[in-house]
Structure 1
Amino acid sequence: RAAAEVLKVGAGSREGGEESARGLGIIVANAVVSAGFAILTQTKLVAAEAATWFRVGAGATGISGGLSFALLGAGHLVGISVGMAMFAGVVIGWWILLPILTSGGSVTGTAEVIANTVFRSDVRFFGAGVIGVAAIWTLLKIAGPVVGGVRSALAASAAKRGGEVLALEERDIPIGIVGIGSLAMLVPIGILLWTVLQGGPLEASAVGLIAGSLVFILVIGLVIAAVCGYMAGLIGASNSPVSGIGILAILAASILLVSWFGRAVEPGTTQALVAYGLIVTGIVFGIATISNDNLQDLKTGQLVGATPWKQQVALLIGVVFGSIVVPPVLNLLG
């Protein structure tokens, strides 16, 4: 909505031009201050964070803090409710769970070593579980609106075929073309997965693995795209549950792989399965992030009265060129 208001004000009046100039000045000033602070912290002239570690009975914990202009901006976007949720997580994780889990004496060393070791090995899994539960709750809450959106798209497509003139904001790319395009994208994904499995310990199971992975990507990707896209359009990409949905996706992929291959496999096969599961989940994550960005843009377009199918074509072009440009750059940097 903020982006839409910027577009409306900027295009609608002379005052909008003045407001845009002031906004640009603020952005430039903030960028200069942020860059200056980053230079000071990297040259060690200013400390970006500070921490202290101490014993709590038989356990250990700590308090740490830092200054990040990027996080200040993110906090402004997500609001006080998300900030309080994160603070509650800090209290539960660092000041309740960590002292309890470190009191067993299984890890020795200084308070800092004990706290960091147990936090990485145990407390983070509590956080991942909370994120997973939140993702499931989000799925249950918005299942109805997502299904309603699909029905609306099908109804609009049927009305268009019947000769009805649709409102401007209802003129999407036909759902049939979207479905055909989605199925066509499974071909390059299958080729990618085949190249990953070639010459490795999983090559003998390549056909079954790829077939199952494509079904997994299609079904889970559709659900994740719908959920993340809906949330991004509703409250913005900053609050979209990508992390929680991603955790559920990797758990689902891992369970499916274990149910197929079992636990009694060679170490090399285990490593290959882990890598393959991460690659498949990475594809699903790509679906989630693209749906995030695209639906936020489409929501902005809806608020300013843009034509959806034109936006969708432009977004598709952006995805295609991004896919062409980004891999060579990553290979060069690697």
Structure 2
Amino acid sequence: MEKKNEFKPYIPADKIVPEFTVTSIVIGIILAVVFGAANAYLGLIVGMTVSASIPAAVISMGIIRVILRKDSILENNLVQTIGSAGESVAAGAIFTLPALFIWAEEGKIAFPSMMTIFLVALFGGVLGICFMVPLRQALIVEEHGTLPFPEGTACAEVLLAGEEGGAKAGTVFAGLGIAAAYKFIADGFKLFPSEIGYAFKSYAGSQIGIQVLPALAGVGFICGPKISSYMLAGGTLSWFVLMPAIALFGADATIFPGTAPISELLAANGPSALWSNYIKYIGAGAVATGGMISLIKSFPLIVRTFKQAMSSMSKKRSNTTLVRTQQDLPMPILLVVLLVIVVAIWLIPAFPVSPLGSLIIVIFGFFFATVSSRMVGLIGSSNNPVSGMAIATLIIATLALKATGTTGTKGMVGAIAIGGIICVIAAIAEDTSQDLKTGFIVGATPKKQQIGELIGVIVSAAAIGGVLYLLNEAWSYGSKELPAAQATMMKMLVEGIMNAELPWGLILIGVFIAIVVEIIKVPVMPFAVGMYLPFSLSAGIMAGGAVRFLVEKIKGTDEEKKARTDKGVLFTSGLIAGEGITGILLAGFAVAKLDVALKFSLPQVGSLIIFIALLGGLFALCMKAKPAKK
């Protein structure tokens, strides 16, 4: 007998409606590729990705409900399930795999093959889903009402308010179109500079500036004023304290890893030379420490989480005649898939591990998948310490490979490949858990959602290699255009452990700055990422955060404020997707050597006026939003 009568999903278990259809699969695949590419571009620039679930659900409702004249909430749910997998695969891949490209550019290794990238993303994605399937009953069903799963619940609310789908989808598409046009005019035609700045000659080493791009404003609006201000604070410390101090005390000295006197570096390339030679190492130390601090702080919760999940799984019902809303992929199939992947990791040369090492990867992956999926249920995706998990795995993997004699470039490549798999596992596990929570509320069939996740992973894994190659060919990872903060930091860690090549003095400065920031109770990760990235980037994000601050502070009822914020989130999700897609397109133009730049461009003040107009438009759009009629 089914014991669970407390919660009634929107679509009852005994009702069959269209769900796993050709329409939902095709739209989901397209959105998985689009949001995966857009988030890869965004993450490599700003060091973070944004959830694709709600934009995917809204676009799906706009297409299925308005254009195709169909009415199926479960089809829309499957679209966002498949579509959001692209963003998660991208997040896991871009935080680790660009390290391989940087080593290849330095001549240390050959460029990674498309097959290697595909297998890292595929194995990580499939393992993340396989691990989440047996946890669904424990975390989603039995903990309903205890674990809020903020993003999954919010996505369900959007789907349940589906009658507004057309209008909401229009908001996303409007943002997408505006950002695409803006980006193409700024960085394609180069009608106005997308970054403006001024170096203070009387305060050597410092430089103020802002990148006037829609995606940055979008990230700032979605993250909110607090997170944006922490990033700006980190950038302020780097560009107005540390860099001027290096310029002042270094003067004509040559300090490792720089190869020329500091005064010459400043004269030749300006303050950015200090960032590339010194600050990125300090920032990397802070980012790594921030990840580890978040992991250590979460450790009691991690242990409790794992115990509760294992306990709940052991009590899982043996009843074989489950209703539609309780059907999962069969465990025998999942165990066969796990066994195949364990053997494949052992046999494939890209992963230089023994059979025991392959098994350890899977065990680590299961542990972090369990932790990740429960923690997003408690605190949401944005607070989940995935980077800390990846850093811990990377350090352990590098030490283990070195101890077993796998050293040099082979060991470094192996450590990054292993870290990449774990990173994708954690990212996909959290995405799958949020999607299954959405499905639980709306009454989806879990088995069909899990198959949808697998489809999204396979398609995204196949596409991510091409995206990574295209972006590297256009601008190179670790450059000003593509800082690739996390991947660069992971590369430094692996090199430091394997070869003792790192400027540990600079890294330890970053470590202790992060510790001080933690002591004064400021969130370390956004502050550390702000330290690592150019100040102009943090300033662009802060501009979006300032608009969110105004929208939330202006008088109105709670319903009115929520309507304003929701509209802004949808519009800025479109801004991020539009700029990401156009960025990929411009990368293709750069590789093909197609120059579309105009012969003239506006001065810097023109860029500032256009960006302020964009921010003003975002503010006006939010203020026009009205609460939905009940």
Q: Same fold (TM over 0.5)?
A: yes
Question: Residues 296 and 76 from structure 1, CA distance in 2 versus in 1: closer, same or farther, beyond 3 angstroms?
Answer: farther
Aligned residue in 1 for 2:166: 21
**Structure 2 letter corresponding to 1:4:** A
Q: Could you tell me which of 123, 147, 150 is aligned with 2:279?
A: 123
Match of 1:7 among 136, 150, 159: 159
Q: Does 1:49 align with 2:205?
A: no
1:152–1:191 Cα change, 3 Å? same
Aligned pair 1:224/2:224, yes or no?
no
C-alpha separation between the residues in 1 aligned to 2:360 and 2:201? 47
Residues 131-170 of structure 1: matches in 2 within 5 Å? 131-161=287-317
| Distance verdict in 2 for CA 1:232–1:301, change over 3 Å | same
Aligned to 1:109: 265
Aligned residue number for residue 62 of structure 1: 207
Name the stretch that deviates more: 44-53 or 111-120.
111-120
Residues 31-110 of structure 1: pairs in structure 2 closer than 5 A:
31-41=176-186, 42-55=188-201, 59-103=204-248, 104-105=250-251, 106=254, 107=262, 108-110=264-266
Between stretches 314-323 and 274-283, larger displacement belongs to 314-323
Task: Select 2:420's aligned residue among 266, 269, 282.
Answer: 282
Question: Over residues 173-229 of structure 1, what are the superposed CA-to-partner deviations in whole Å (9 max), with x where a residue is unaligned?
Answer: 68887666544421222232x2x37xxxxxxxx5xx434642452244334334443
Partner of 1:316: 454
* 2-structure distance, mates of 1:149, 1:164: 27
CA shift, 1:43, in A, is: 0.6
**Kept in 2: contact 1:98–1:123 (CA 8 A):** yes
For residue 121 of structure 1, report the CA deviation from its aligned partner.
3.1
Q: Helix, strand or coil: the match of 1:185?
A: helix
Secondary structure of residue in 1 paired with 2:229: helix
- Which secondary structure does the structure 1 equivalent of 2:271 belong to? helix
Q: Please list every run of 5 or more consecutive structure 2 residues that lacks an aligned counterpart in the other structure.
A: 1-152, 255-261, 474-630
Shifted more, 213-222 versus 276-285: the winner is 213-222
* 1:121-144 Cα distance to aligned partner (Å, 9 max, x none): 332233222222332233234344
- What are the superposed Cα offsets for residues 84-141 of structure 1, whole Å, 9 maximum, x if unpaired? 2211211222222222233313322335735323322332233222222332233234
Q: RMSD across aligned C-alpha pairs, in angstroms?
A: 3.7
Tell me how far apart the structure 1 counterparts of residues 375 and 267 of structure 2 sit (CA, whole Å): 41
2 CA distance for matches of 1:112 and 1:247? 35
Shift of 1:65: 0.8
Structure 2-normalised TM-score?
0.42
Question: What number of residue pairs does the alignment pair up?
Answer: 307
Where in structure 2 are the equivalents of 1:203-214 lying within 5 Å? Answer: 209-211=353-355, 213-214=357-358
For the residue of structure 2 that corresponds to 1:47, the secondary structure is: coil
Are 2:265 and 2:273, in contact at CA under 8 Å, matched by a contact in 1?
A: no
2:192 and 2:234 map into 1 onto residues whose CA distance is: 28
Mapped to 2, the partners of 1:29 and 1:321 lie a distance apart of: 27
Give the distance between the partners of 1:247 and 1:22, measured in 2 at CA: 42
Is the contact made by 1:54 and 1:111 (CA closer than 8 Å) also made in structure 2? Answer: no
CA pair 182-132 structure 1, distance change in 2 beyond 3 A: farther
Higher relative contact order (CA 8 A, sep 6+): 2
Question: Greater shift after overlay, 212-221 or 129-138?
Answer: 212-221
Structure richer in helix, relative to its length: 1
Corresponding residue SS for 1:60:
coil
Q: CA deviation at 1:256?
A: 3.1
Cα-to-partner distance string for 1:142-194 (whole Å, 9 max, x where unaligned) = 344444444444444443446599999887668887666544421222232x2
Q: Aligned partner of 2:221: which letter?
A: H
Assess if the C-alpha contact under 8 Å between 2:372 and 2:386 holds in 1.
yes
SS of the equivalent of 2:265 reads coil
Counterpart of 2:190 in 1: which secondary structure?
coil
Deviates more, 1:73-82 or 1:245-254: 245-254
Matched with 1:265 is none
TM-score (norm 1): 0.74
Counterpart Cα distance in 2 of 1:56 and 1:227: 51
Post-superposition shift, 1:255?
Answer: 3.1
Find the aligned partners of 1:222 and 1:168 in 2 and give their Cα distance: 26
Query: Counterpart of 1:45 in 2: which secondary structure?
Result: coil
Q: 1:271 to 1:55 in 2, by over 3 A?
A: farther
Q: Kindly tell me: are residues 162 and 261 of structure 1, through their superposed partners in 2, closer, same or farther at Cα, counting changes over 3 Å?
A: closer
